[in-house]
Every structure is written in structure tokens, then in C-alpha cells.
Amino acid sequence: MQSQLTNSKEIIVYLAQQFPNCFTLDGEAKPLKIGIFQDILLHLENNDLLSKTKLRVALRAYTISWRYLYSIKEGLYRVDLDGNPTDVITKEQMEHAQQLLKDSKQKAKERFKQREKEKTKNSRSPLKKVKALQLGDFVKVQLGNKLLKVQIINIEKEHIKVKVGSGMELMVKPEHIINR
């Protein structure tokens, strides 16, 4: 007995293998017949690989993908499991798909901006640190997970030479210095 498919991507790959004229993994997606979920259930009646819930989730992921939403154009035919044309896409359906696509792109843009903002916030600006540092200053250096108290003995363009309490000297990058 085969194990049940649980991952949406695995389920879509399986559906593309079972119904190659309907589901595609590459290139332009085909608009699916409304009610295709029921058709799949009927076709795979005695199949233990798919749960209804996982299938529904996978179909949802497939139909809200940008690739799929781009395929929803007024006047094109939706396809059944064999790739045969069924109903025609209406203007309202196309506009709905375009709105979903626009909203999804906006959310992605906002997530990207947020990640960039967090990166900027979390990264220490080495230029500001280097300008504020002076020979003889005591600072902390990030070494792995530890902070080490050191004294600055030389400042170069890309490295700062520091001395540890034991007398050992290290070359460190400015981004590893914590100047508090």
C-alpha cells in the first residue's frame, strides 16, 4: 500500500501525471472546469493516495498561483480532466482573477519591502561604526554567539585590529564590532 500524498506540490504533480491534458507543471496553465474537484473525486474513487481535504487545499494552491490566474482570460474555454473544452470564461471571472492577481502581487511586494526593512534594521552599518571608533576604545566584538570585550589598536579600511585581555590580537570586520 502506498502512503498518502500530503504536500500540495506532490498532489499537483500526481494530478499532472494522472490528467496531463488538464494540469500542467510548466508553462501556461489551463483554466480548469468549475467543479473539477468533484470530477477528480469520481475518477479517483478507490484511491487511497488523496484525502478530500488535501486535494481541496492543493487545488486551491494551484488556482491562486500567478501562473494559473494569468490563464483566466475572457472568451477562453475551461478544460475538463481530459483537456476537453467546457464552459467559456466570462468577463466577470476574468476580472475576478485579475483582482486576485493584483492583490497577491501587492501582498508579495509588501512582504518584500518588510523583509528589506528588517534586513536594514538588523544590519549594523559598518561605516557609522568605523567613523565613531577611535584607537584605544574598548568595544565588544561578536565572535560566534559570544561577545568579547576588546581594545582597538588599529583601524584599517576593511578590518579593525583589536587586542583581547589576554594580549592576543585579532583582525575583525567592522560589522562584528558592537560599540555601546
In sequence order, what DSSP letters do the residues of 52-72 get, joined into one string?
HHHHHHHHHHHHTSHHHHHH-
pLDDT at site 33: 95
pLDDT at site 164: 85
Is 63 contained in some domain? yes
pLDDT at site 141: 84
Q: Verify that 54 and 34 share a domain, yes or no.
A: yes
For 178, phi and psi rounded to 5 degrees? -115, 115
Distance CA 141, CA 129 (A): 12
Q: Verify that 89 and 14 share a domain, yes or no.
A: yes
**Residue found by looking up cell 589598536 in the block:** 153
pLDDT at site 129: 44
Element (H, E) at 157: none
Q: Verify that 15 and 104 share a domain, yes or no.
A: yes
What total number of domains does the chain contain? 2
Closest CA to 16 of 64, 65, 81: 81
Q: Which domain holds residue 107?
A: 8-121
pLDDT at site 122: 67
Closest CA to 103 of 114, 92, 95, 91: 95
Q: Verify that 12 and 86 share a domain, yes or no.
A: yes
Q: Verify that 116 and 146 share a domain, yes or no.
A: no
Q: Verify that 37 and 21 share a domain, yes or no.
A: yes
Encode pLDDT of 122-131 as tens digits: 665 554 444 5
pLDDT at site 2: 54
pLDDT at site 16: 95
- The whole-angstrom distance between residue 144's C-alpha and the CA centroid of its chain comes to 28
Are 62 and 45 in contact by the 8 Å Cβ rule? The answer is no
CATH number of residue 155's parent domain:
2.30.30.140
Is 2 contained in some domain? no
pTM (2 d.p.): 0.63
For 84, phi and psi rounded to 5 degrees? -75, 140
Q: What is the pLDDT along the chain (180 residues), one digit of tens a residue?
A: 456 787 899 999 999 999 999 999 988 999 999 999 999 999 887 777 788 899 999 999 999 999 999 999 999 999 999 999 999 999 999 999 999 999 999 999 999 989 888 877 766 555 444 456 778 888 888 777 788 888 888 888 778 888 888 888 888 887 778 775
Distance CA 71, CA 117 (A): 33
Q: Verify that 101 and 169 share a domain, yes or no.
A: no
pLDDT at site 63: 95
